[in-house]
Amino acid sequence: MRKLKLQMQVSLDGYVAGPNNEMDWMTWDWDDRLKQYVQQITEPVDTIILGRVLAEGFIPVWKERSADPSADAFTHKMVNAPKVVFTKSLTGNSWENTTLATGDIVEEINKLKNRAGRDIIAYGGATLASALIKHNLIDEYHLFVNPVAIGRGKSIYNELDSNLPLKLVKATPFKCGITVMCYNPA
């Protein structure tokens, strides 16, 4: 069975966006070591899953970046990897390498996990990540904890019906102030 990884940037107080989707608090001056960490967790990935809102920005941005002649292999992977966009509102899309998932999230994820292939990575957004967490579908959490508290905003844990026990696999601090917390379900 394929593994589903979640990679999310979070604030120190656990938010993934401000109350109005603000993301100006995120740290982006990543050093080579942090970029290498991301490449290591995405190397065994051959499928990307996204929520509709995130997909509307994510897919065009990576497509634009790939047009740059100096674009690296990671950029091309973000464009060329098959993407599955979870949506309740779209009935079609014009994105290359992208299919829409409109059914029950548990069934859709289990179908993906049972297909032949490599790992799957979810980048969010908050609604999709919340649903994945609620239904215990994530096999590996990679939470990029930013060195800032924002006080209020969107959480990926507000759909939980009970506690979510996790087992810390490793905590890796980086020079920019981000600490990546890697967890598996306990």
Domain definitions of the chain by residue range: 28-139
Convert the pLDDT of each residue in 35-80 to its tens digit: 999 999 999 999 999 999 888 888 889 999 999 999 998 899 999 9
**pTM of structure:** 0.93
Distance between CA atoms of residues 85 and 21, nearest Å: 19
- 24 pLDDT exceeds 90? yes
> Which of 3.30.9.10, 3.40.430.10, 3.30.930.10, 2.60.40.10 would CATH assign to domain 28-139?
3.40.430.10
What's residue 94's pLDDT?
79
H helix runs in 43-175, sequence order: 52-66, 73-80, 105-114, 126-134
The pLDDT-based confidence of 154 (bands split at 50, 70, 90) is very high
Number of helical (H) and strand (E) elements in the chain, helices listed first: 5, 10
Which position has the higher pLDDT, 169 or 62?
Answer: 169
pLDDT digits (tens, 9 = 90+) for 85-130: 999 998 888 788 999 999 999 999 999 999 999 999 999 889 999 9
